[in-house]
Chain A
Amino acid sequence: MLYREAGQFKTTYAEDMAIFPIRQDRIALAILVGIAFIGVPLLATFHVWPFGSDYLLWAILLPFLILALAAIGTNILVGYCGQISLGSGAFMAIGAYSAYKLATGVHIPLASLGFAIAIPPLPVLASILLGGLMSAGVGILFGIPSLRIKGLYLAVATLAAQFFFDWAFLRLPWFTNYAPSGSVNAPELDFFGVVVRTPVERYLLCLLFVTVLAVLAKNLVRGNLGRQWMAIRDMDIAAELIGIRPLYAKLTAFAVSSFIIGVAGALWGFVYLGSWEPLAFSIERSLDLLFMVIIGGLGSIMGSFIGAAFILIVPILLNVLPTELGLPLSTQTITHLQFIIFGSLICYLLIKEPHGFARLISIGKEKLRLWPFPY
C-alpha cells in the first residue's frame, strides 16, 4: 500500500529519465546511502553490534564493495554489450599490478637503445586510476577479436588473456619488482596527506570509489552509449542499419568495462589484500565475477551488487548456519554444498529468469504497486 506512485506527476523529461523516477525508491536509496556512509562507520567506530569486531567490515563489507565494483565492470561487457568474457580476473590483475608499478616507480632499462624510461613513484590515487586506464588499454586490445568472433569463441579469446596474464605476472619478475617470493606489498594508502589505515577508513574509501563509479556507469548505460551497447547485444545487424558502428560500440564497452574492473583490481590489491600474489586474480575470480553477473542480473547495475552479495554471503552462511542449528558439517561437505547450490542456481536462473535477481525484484515491485489487487 505504501508503494504507490499515484499523484507523482512528472512535468519534464529530465524528471522522467531520472534513475529512480518513483519517490519511494528515492527515499529507500537515501536511507541506504545514509546507512552506508554514516551508520556503518559510526557503529564500527564505537564497536556496537554487529560491528563488535572488525570481522563484518574486513571479511564481508570490504570484499563485497570491491567485487560489486568489478561485477559492474563485467556486467557492462557481458550484460549490456553481450560480449562474453572469461578474462575479468586478468583485468583486475592488470589494474592491480599497473597501480603497484606506478606507485613504486617504473624503470624500464632499454640498454640496447642506450637509455632508460624512468617514472618516479606516483601518488596512490593517480596510480589506481592509471591502473584502471592501463587495464582499459589492454581491454581494447583484447576486444579487437570481438569484431570478428562472437559468443563462445570470444569467451575463449578472453580466456587466453586470463592465462597469459596469470603467466606474465607469475613469471616475469619485473612486474613484482624482483621480489623473491613473487608476492608484492601495496604502498601506504596516502591520499593527499590523509593516510588510510583502519578498516573503517578502508571501507569508506572503497565505498566512495564504488558509489562514484556506479553512478557514472549508470549514466553511461542509460545514455546513448548504453543504448548502442544493448542494440549490439540484441541485434547487431539492425544496430548497424541505424548507424551504430560495431567497432566503436564494442571497443568502448571493452574499455569502460576493463577500466572499472582495473580500478576494482587495484583496490582489491591495495586496500583489501595489502599484499598479494598472482593467484589472487586467477581464473576462479573471473568465473566468480561471471556468476555474480548472471545471478544478480545481466544488464543491471543493481544486479551487480546483489550478485556480489550473494556469492560472498552464501559460503559464509553455509559455514555458520549448520553449526548454529546443531548440524556440524565437515568443511568438505560445505564446499560441495556450495558448488551444488551455485551450480543449480545458475542453471535455474538461466532457464527461468535470465535477468537474475534484479528482474525478480523489479517484477516484485510491479506487483507491489498494485497490491493487494492482481491488476
Chain B
Amino acid sequence: MTQPAKETYQKYTQEKYTSEFLRNKLKLKSLETKTSLFEKYPHVKKFLDEKGLDLDKIRKHSAKVITTGALTGTLLFAVPTPSRNLPVISSIVKNITDFNSESSKPINQEKLLTNLREILPDNVGPLTRSQEKQIEKVINDVIGVNTKATLEGEHLNTTYGFIGLEQHLARYPGDNVTYMAPGRGAWGYFAGSKSNLTEEAIEREKWYVAVQTLYLPDWEERLSYVKDWYKYRKVLVVNTANGNAVIADIAEAGPAAWTGKQFGGSPEVMNSLGGSRYTKGAVVMFFVDDPKNKVPLGPIQYNNIDLKGVTMVEV
C-alpha cells in the first residue's frame, strides 16, 4: 500500500533533515574543535602550516609514512613487549609435516593455534612481512587454502586486528531482513531486484566482511581500480582464540578507525567464528588466491576437539 503523498513528503524531508542536520552539526563541531586548539595553542597552527600538515588528513599522511618506510626498509613497528624469538619457518613446517605424516587425521586446530601463537605479537596490531609470510605458510599447510597477505600488489589496511559484528546488508532494493543496516553496502546491492537474486548473491551477502578500504594509502587516487578489485574479493578469516576459520567476501567498507576495530563481519561470519554471542574478537585476515573461483564461501570444517580453556564452536 503506498503512503499518501503528504506523509511521503514529510518522511523524505524528515530523513533529509536528519542527515543534513547532523552533517551540519558535526561540521560546526569540527570548526569549534579547530578554533579551540588553534586559539589555545597558536604555535600549533604555525607548525602545521609550515609542514603543510592538515590534522583532518593526518591518516592519509600516516599511510604515506608507513608505505614509504616499508618500501625503504626503514620502518620498524615498535613492539611494546620484549621482542620474541620468532620460530624459523622450517621448524613450523616440520611440526606440520610430522603431524601430517601420521595416518589421515582430520585438520588439527591445536596445531594451527599453537603455530599462530608462536608467530603473532602479544598485542593485536599490524604484522611484519616476515610474520605474514609465516602465517601464509601455516594456513596453507594446515587449512589447505592458498592465502596471501599481499595479492596482486594489494594489501589490507591490516591483516591482524579486531573484527566486530555488522548488520545484514540490503541485497536488492526493498530488501527487508532482521538486523539489517540502513542504506546499501559500499558496493551497492547484490542484485537489481528480488527476482534477480541468485544463490551466489545470497551467499555473498551472507558471508560478507567489511574491511578498511577507506584507509588505503591511495584509495581516492585509484578509486575506480581499487573499488573493482576489492568488490567481493575472497578472504580467509581465522579467529586466533579458537582457530575457527571462514571464507568470506569483501562487501562493505569500514569500520571507522576510531571504533577500536579493523574489520566487520556479517552475523553468519561472526557466528561461525565464535558463536551467537561473539561480537568482537581478534582475527587474522588474508586474501584467498583463487583465480578460478573454486573456493566456496562459508566456514571451513575442523574436527571437534575440546582444547583446555578454549571453547570450540561447532561450525
Do they bind each other? no
Chain A interface residues toward B at CB < 8 A: none
